[in-house]
Chain A
């Protein structure tokens, strides 16, 4: 089946720093999503991004489907950005089933 790999597994930032999280997937996908799991455990949608680039405030994401990767950019990081970031790819013909990566754990220190 499809493999979804995220890097780095862990990331520590000083408040105000920028970072890039990467998601590689092993096969063609219909869709890709980024989620943020905050320290309270909530899983929050960040981006629905099968291709192209989207921006939402300090966050932006780019998916290059032909090269099978997606990037999540966090600029001017804040302590509230801490948590785990997951990417998830939708399997073709999979009735909307998402395959999740293992996540990138981000800690932003003041």
Chain B
């Protein structure tokens, strides 16, 4: 199994630009999670999906953040417009029936 796949691995963008992060969960997993990690705030859960349906988006910091899961094998996290304080590592994770989460390699986002 290829594991959870995220792209891009690194993203550098200017303030005000739109950023789209992508995630492909492990095949057969029915839950998908987006996390953000910073030195100041640690690991934060932003949103999670179950069977492609968003279950809890209370961790999404602002309306500038949105996430979609159009099918079982793909999800996006979009930031529009981006701000310097959005700089962080964004992780995607997925889990199956056993509820064991597996993390992707992360996307390191830098907003200048």
Contact = CB atoms under 8 A, between A and B. Distances in A.
Contacts of B101: 33, 45, 88, 96, 98
B34 interface: no
A6 B34 CA distance: 23
B99 interface: yes
Interface of B: 31, 33, 42-43, 45, 48, 50, 55-56, 89, 91, 93, 95, 98-103, 105-106, 108
A30 B99 contact: yes
Given A30-B99, A41-B106, A97-B56, A103 B48 contact: no
Nearest to B43: A100
A43 B99 contact: no
Contacts of A60: none
A90 interface: yes
A86 interface: yes
B42 A103 contact: yes
Residue from A30, A33, A43, A102 with most neighbouring chain B CB atoms (10 Å) = A43
Interface string A42-65: 111100100000000000000000
A96 B95 contact: yes
Contacts of B48: 95-97
A19 interface: no
A31 interface: yes
Residue from A35, A97, A100 with most neighbouring chain B CB atoms (10 Å) = A97
**Top 7 nearest A-B pairs by Cβ distance?**
A43-B103, A48-B100, A96-B31, A96-B99, A95-B50, A95-B55, A96-B95
A48 B97 CA distance: 13
A98 B31 CA distance: 12
A35 B102 CA distance: 10
Nearest to A45: B102
Interface string A78-100: 00000000101010000111101
A21 B75 CA distance: 35
A35 B100 CA distance: 11
B99 A90 contact: yes
Contacts of B56: 95, 97
